[in-house]
Every structure is written in structure tokens, then in C-alpha cells.
Structure 1
Amino acid sequence: MSNTSHANASGVFGAADRAGDYIEDDTTPFAPTLPRRRAETTLVADTERVTPETTPTPASPIFPEAVDRSSTSVLFSSPAAGLAAASRMSNPAKASVGFRGVLASLGLPVAPGPAEVVERQRVDLRTADETTVRQATWTRAVSILINNPKGGTGKTPTALLLGGVLAAIRGGSVAILEVSDDPGALNFRAEGNPQLGLGELVRDVTQIRTAGHLAGYTAPQTSFASVIGSTGRRERLTGDSVIAVTSVIDEFYGIRVMDSGNVTTSSAFQGAVSVSDVLVIPVMNAGDSVLEAIQLLDELRSAGGDSAKLADTAIAIRLTDGRPENDAVRQEVERLLKDAGVSALHEIPYDAHIAERGQITLGNLNPATRDAFTSAAASVVRSLQSAVSAAPSQNRKA
């Protein structure tokens, strides 16, 4: 991050640079005080209270990558999507819910109200994102690295929910793996109580020959993802162990999501970087959170090669845990991430299920939260397609 950027940020963040060594307490509950959101990023789950003056727009990236999801071409979409588009064009929109829906059912030409229009837009965007995720293909396994050097920014929930959404839409073949130096919270936050985990897999990695054997080291999720975390104490993870384990995982899973630690100079993190295709950075609306994220990008770019490519295509996911937030800080976070070259920033609304800091189940999310993670997953998939297609070889980097 440049000196100029640090100077511009200091007025908003104050002593954030000096807070880099402070680790947030992940066990302290906070009341769900929702921050005020700008109209263009508002997420709505309850459309009954929407008025024409306050009609929000569906979830979308704050500064998205250049992609057009609005095409309704009958010629170039799937047959089912083409028929649906043709049906909409031949049948003008009519209301289907509430009093307007009753009038429309009687044959009156009553258009949908503002709340129903918003809900239809939300469904259309979600459908487009799900189609992007479901239909993406590669000629090798692909990988996603989740990291922010600042603790307490939501790395583990992001790994579980992003991986869970990918698995739920694609019908499985997603492994969520812990790659932190020491045991992290992945196994605690995931569903299930597996007998074997990462430590045992590292020990037995050379003996894995079948998918059934590998499954014995996982915690199957209701999302159809498979989690490989630490079930207890284990030896400190090394870069060589990360590479060995991921090579085996890639034989049996199409997508690998890696939940990393806070030490970016560690051997384990460097090993994870060497076998990653896309970087996802969770952030909060706090100075230390975003400044350490930008420092990570600077370090990756300084390393050059594939590390720099990860930084140049990084995607940020901003979570809200219910703490009081400041609009000036929110706007500064957006500006700094955009200036740092982050390709897309996705807003995740407050969700009590995430903030409880307990076991995470994809099906327990609020609809707006799941839609937001689906939008983020579509961005990640597009970035994966670009990264893999641009690679000079289809072999793993390691």
C-alpha cells in the first residue's frame, strides 16, 4: 500500500495501523445492530414492508467485475432459459401476489407492485448466478484460497459458506480444507464430529488410493461439501504437507476451498499460495481488517509470478457481525479495496446464524445471506474460468 494511501486512510481509521497485532475476541456476542446500507447494495428478505419510495435493489457486487448477466437471448442461452425468456416476452408481467395478484387472477391487467418486482429481480439474479456456478467446467481441479492476515475477519465462515454454496449448486465434489499452521476453528464450525481429520490425513497421505478411503478423513456437510479440519492436536503444518494433501484431494474433488491462518510468512501459507487459483479476502468494516488485507496484496505482488496473479484477481467479501458501524469507514473500506486492485467486493448482510460463532449449516442462513454468497460464488467461478483458461499448462502449479 502506498504512503499516499496510508495518509488518506489515517483520518478515518485513526490508530488502525497500530492494531495489527490485536486479535479480536471471537467469542463475544454482539447485538444485531444493522448498519445503514446504501440503496444500491441493499439486500431484502422481507418484501411485505417495501414501499415504492424505499424499494431496494437485489444483491450485487459493490464494484463487480465486468460481466453482463442481463442477456435474455433465446439463441445463446440454454434451451430452458430461452423458452422462459420467450414466455416472458409473449406474456406481459402480471401481479401474482397480494391484492394485485387477486385482481390479476380475475383477468384485470394489473402489473406487479414494487415489492414483487424486487422479488422477481432477486430471483432472476440468483438464477443467473446459480447457472454460472452449475455450468462451469474445467479440465483439472481448481482451488480457492481464503485469507486475511487479521484474525476475526470471518475466514472460516467464508470458507464453509462459499464452499457450501458451490457444493449445493453443483451437487458436491467440493472439499473445504484447513491449511493453517496450527489447528483452527474449521472442524468446530463445520457440521459433524469426524473421527479422523487433517493431522491423520497428513500422516496417511501416501496411502490414499480411492475416494472411499479419502472420505474417511472428512466431515460430510448437508451442503454436500466435505470438510477436512483438525480433530485434535497435530503437528504444525508445512508447505510440503499442504502440497501433498492437496494433490490427493484434487484427484477426487473438482473444487478445493482452503481456510488459511494469520501468518502469511509461514511455510503452510506459502504452500497454499503455490496451489491456489483464486484468492478470496474476507473483511469487516474496520481499519485493521482492510489495511492488513491490502498488505497481503502488496506482499503477493512483491513475490511476483503466480502470487501476483492471485493479488490482481482477488475478490473481497465483506461481512457484518452486528457491531456498530460508521458510514465513513464503510466508504473508506470500499475506496481502499478498489484502489488496491480488488476485482469485486461482495456485501454479506448480518446473519445471526453466522454471528453466533457456532456450527454453521447452509440451510439455516437467511435467504438474503445465501443469495449474497451465491453472487460471490459466481464471481469466484468466473475468476476460476479465466485463471485456468489463461494458464500455460493444465498441470497443477505444484
Structure 2
Amino acid sequence: MTQTNTPKPGPRPDRSPSISSDSVAHLSPSDAPDLSPSDAAGAAPTGDISLVTVSDAQDRTSAGSLSAVSGAVQHGPATAAMPVVTAGPGTVSLPEADEAGEAGGAGVAAVETEGVGAEPAGADSAGAVDASAAAGPTPGGEPPAEEATDLPGRREKPEGPEPASALTADRLLTRTAAAPVSGWRRWLYQATLGYVNVGDSDQVRIQRAMEHRIAMRLGERTRYVPVLSRKGGVGKTTVTTLLGMVLAELREDRVIAMDANPDRGTLSDRSPGRADFTARQLVKDRFTVDSFAQLSNYTARDGSRLDVLASDTDPMVAHAFDDADYRAVTDILGRYYSIVLTDSGTGMVHSVMKGTLEKADAVVLVSGGSVDEARLASETLSWLEAHGRQDLVAKATVVINMAAGDRTLVNIDEIEQHFLSRVKNVVRIPHDRHLAEGSRIRLGQLKPATRAAAVELAALVVDELQQD
């Protein structure tokens, strides 16, 4: 036990009032005796500090009374502004008196609690009174040091060496905006040596978005898209070729266009390239074709990624191509191609049309810009609904081919509004001199508006195929 200013041996002077441990435990600040400076000087000489010990009163002093003593001393009016110093485990030190002997009217300098409810040596330090907890938060309002180290959102660096997968392109490369493709934006970019890049126009961005839609994957199953028309000469074969060439150019998988016209078809005349064999010969050799290399001998591809399976040029042989032959050919094509376009004939009641519609995932209906062509196209939709193919009508895409130009008196806007009341998608292909030639189609020779319409048509068809 540590004592400060140990008094001389001899009898302790009698002091009134007498303060015991029990009385201190129940003493409030208001009950403290009002001592004048002279009384305080007479009761305790200058430099003499009184000491109250409770080691000899363990049998009648509890831990609750010690708490009351600590609370009374710490929260008293005389010691509220003075710091509290921790002297060690199990010990509560009170403010020491200054040289004048004043301690806020209290003569008690320290209360030692050794032996009273104290924990044995080596116990957890939680039993001691923490000065930082008693003092409360710091004046600046900052959290304690141990709490400040655990900040939300802080990410620690992983220990040890990084794996090779951490060296990604997003981490190592500095991304720069792509240069504009054309127009004054491209000229400005080149004139400033790349320092001024205003980006592409909205039209170019929309075009890129459509190309991205066309390139979307369709899954493992082959999709079949027939191109229909009730009237010849409206550009059904032209639309089939345009659609197939755009799909083949912008997609990574294989696309083929098949001529399934029971009569003399012209799909091979509009598509680049020639083939040594036709669809009819593929039907005869269907049991021997077991690879894509063998199948490529029956298709044509020249200057385009689109494969074309032509029909026979002899009308007498072409009539032999029926529903069973169509199913046999499409079964072979379904092994190696993702999208199969079918250039159908004009006869809706022909046997080939039965297999064509049963395998169809979406249809493209071609209409001209005249009155009778638009009426026949609308009647085709009615025929599909009458034969229980409302699903194809809901996913149908109507193409208005303006092969005759805009010089007619027909209101094309009214035709478009009519089809929009029956189907969801309507595309208008403008007049193009390259298409009007009736020869092989090359995408590079099309007008920008014609190519944009073909890209829009391909994007709409792919959107419908993704819904399956």
C-alpha cells in the first residue's frame, strides 16, 4: 500500500465530523460540509494530505459502495474540471491538491481499493478503470485510434505475389475514344492530329447498335426464316439476298439462303458465285453428305460470306421438289448452319409451303408499293391466321420494297400504317438503281439509305429469333 506524506507516529488527532467508509459511500456532493478556507487550513495543514483506506473495512464495504465513492468523487463540483489519472489496476486516483492544499474543499486525495473486490494478478485489464473511457470522446470529436483504423470501404492490399490473371487489359491499357469514321468529325480529328475528338454522330452510333444486335448469339438450335410473297415480281428474291448478305457479313456463324421455289427460282442469279450442284442433287446425295466440306460442294459463295443453295434451272425437274425433299434438305442444312433463309414460291397451298411454315421460327413478308401488291400481302397474313399460325403473324416483319420509286401516286405511308396495325415490324427499302438492275447484288454498291434499311431488317429479324 502506497501512502503519501506519512504522518508522524502518535495518536491521530480527533477530527469532527468523522468520515467513515460507509458515510462516504452515501455522501452526495450537496451533503459535503461547507468549510471555509480557515477551517480547511486548520483541519489539514498545508502540504498535509489526508488518506482514507478501506483495506481494514473489507467485511463491511462492498463493491457497490466503492462505485458510489468513485462516482461521488469524480462527479463532484470541485473535481469535474480536473483530470483523472489512472494509477494502476484496482486503484482510482483523485486530483492531487496543489501547493496551497486546496482540492475543491475535499481533503481526500486518493482512495486505494487493494484487497476490496480486486481481481487476482494476471486478470484481464477490463477490470481496471480506463481513463480514456471516463474522459469520453476527444475534444476534436475524432474516434479512438483503434476505431479509426477500421474505416468502411478501405480495401487492403492482398498479401503475397499477384497471380498472372491480375494483369488484365483494363488495368494496364489506357483507353482512348475511337476516331470518327466519316464526315467533318473525321476531318477535325485528322486536322488536329487526334487532339480533338468529338466522337461519331448519333446516326453512326445507332448503326453500330443495330450491328451489335445482329451479331447476338441465337443458341445451339438452327433458326428457319422463310421469305413469303403472294405475288411475283415484288422483290422477294432481292429481299432474301439482301437479308442473307447482311446477316452473313455481321455474324460470326454460318448463314445460308435456300431457293425453295417449286418453279424456276432466280436466287442464284442475284447472289454472287456459282455452284456445281443444286438442291435437287443434294436430296439424292443426302445419305453420303456427312461433313461441311462435302456440303460446301453444293453451295455457292463468291465475294460474300453468304452460302446459296440454288434450285434446278430445268422447270420439269424443279416440279419434283416437294415437301419431303424440302424437309430432307433442311435437315442436312440444320447440322452446319445457324440461320437458314428460304426463298419460297408464290403458291401458299403448294406442298413445299407446308414444310416451310412448320419449320419457320419467323417470317418475312414482302410487299410492293402498288395497291394490288399491298392487298395480296395483307391477305397472306389473313391466310396464316386462318390456318392457325397466329404466332408467325405476331413475329412477322413486313418489307415494303420501293422498286418502282417514289414517282407513283400511291400513299406509301398509308400502306405502312395498315401493316403496323397487324404486325410489329415494318421496313421500307428505298429505290436503288443497283437493285433495279436485276443482276448480282453487292453491298458495296448500294446507297447508304438502302444499306441502312437492310441492316435494320436484319436487326429486327434477329430480335424475333432471340425470343424463342
- Among 245, 252, 269, the alignment partner of 2:336 is 252
Q: 1:323 to 1:206 in 2, by over 3 A?
A: same
Corresponding residue number in structure 2 for 1:12: none
Corresponding residue number in structure 2 for 1:394: none
Whole-Å separation in 2 of the counterparts to 1:147 and 1:276? 11
In structure 1, list runs of 5 or more residues that go unmatched. Answer: 1-78, 81-85, 89-93, 389-398
- Please give the per-residue CA displacement for 1:61-84, whole angstroms capped at 9, x wherever unaligned: xxxxxxxxxxxxxxxxxx99xxxx
Q: 1:321 to 1:328 in 2, by over 3 A?
A: closer
CA shift for structure 1 position 324: 4.7
- Among 332, 343, 347, the alignment partner of 2:424 is 343
C-alpha contact (below 8 Å) 2:371/2:410 kept by paired residues: no
Whole-Å separation in 1 of the counterparts to 2:308 and 2:213? 24
Superposed, which structure 2 residues align to 1:380-391 within 5 Å? 380-386=461-467, 388=468
Greater length-normalized contact order (CA 8 Å, ≥ 6 residues apart): 1
Q: 1:159 to 1:104 in 2, by over 3 A?
A: same
- Among 406, 411, 420, the alignment partner of 1:329 is 411
Equivalent position amino acid for 1:156 in 2: T
- Please give the per-residue CA displacement for 1:253-290, whole angstroms capped at 9, x wherever unaligned: 01101101110110011211111111111222111111
Corresponding residue number in structure 2 for 1:370: 451
Corresponding residue number in structure 2 for 1:139: 220
Corresponding residue number in structure 2 for 1:277: 361
CA shift for structure 1 position 367: 2.7
Superposition CA RMSD, Å: 2.8
CA shift for structure 1 position 125: 1.2
Corresponding residue number in structure 2 for 1:73: none
C-alpha contact (below 8 Å) 2:274/2:302 kept by paired residues: no
SS for the counterpart of 1:295 is helix
TM-score (norm 1): 0.67
Q: Which has the higher helix share?
A: 1
Deviates more, 1:287-296 or 1:250-259: 287-296
Whole-Å separation in 1 of the counterparts to 2:361 and 2:235? 20
Corresponding residue number in structure 1 for 2:279: 198
Percentage of identical aligned residues: 27
Corresponding residue number in structure 2 for 1:14: none
Larger radius of gyration: 2
CA shift for structure 1 position 161: 1.1
Whole-Å separation in 2 of the counterparts to 1:252 and 1:347? 32
Corresponding residue number in structure 1 for 2:185: 96
Whole-Å separation in 2 of the counterparts to 1:328 and 1:352? 20
Equivalent pairs, count: 290
Is 1:379 matched up with 2:460? yes
C-alpha contact (below 8 Å) 1:165/1:223 kept by paired residues: no
C-alpha contact (below 8 Å) 1:172/1:224 kept by paired residues: no
Whole-Å separation in 2 of the counterparts to 1:201 and 1:102? 53
Equivalent position amino acid for 1:368 in 2: A
Whole-Å separation in 1 of the counterparts to 2:272 and 2:192? 45
Whole-Å separation in 2 of the counterparts to 1:346 and 1:87? 36
Whole-Å separation in 1 of the counterparts to 2:295 and 2:229? 29
Corresponding residue number in structure 2 for 1:219: 300
Q: 1:102 to 1:334 in 2, by over 3 A?
A: same
Whole-Å separation in 2 of the counterparts to 1:264 and 1:204? 28
Equivalent position amino acid for 2:371 in 1: G
Whole-Å separation in 2 of the counterparts to 1:251 and 1:258? 16
C-alpha contact (below 8 Å) 2:270/2:440 kept by paired residues: yes
CA shift for structure 1 position 335: 2.2
Corresponding residue number in structure 2 for 1:287: 371
C-alpha contact (below 8 Å) 1:147/1:262 kept by paired residues: yes
Corresponding residue number in structure 2 for 1:267: 351
Corresponding residue number in structure 2 for 1:169: 250
Equivalent position amino acid for 2:415 in 1: V
CA shift for structure 1 position 120: 1.6
TM-score (norm 2): 0.57
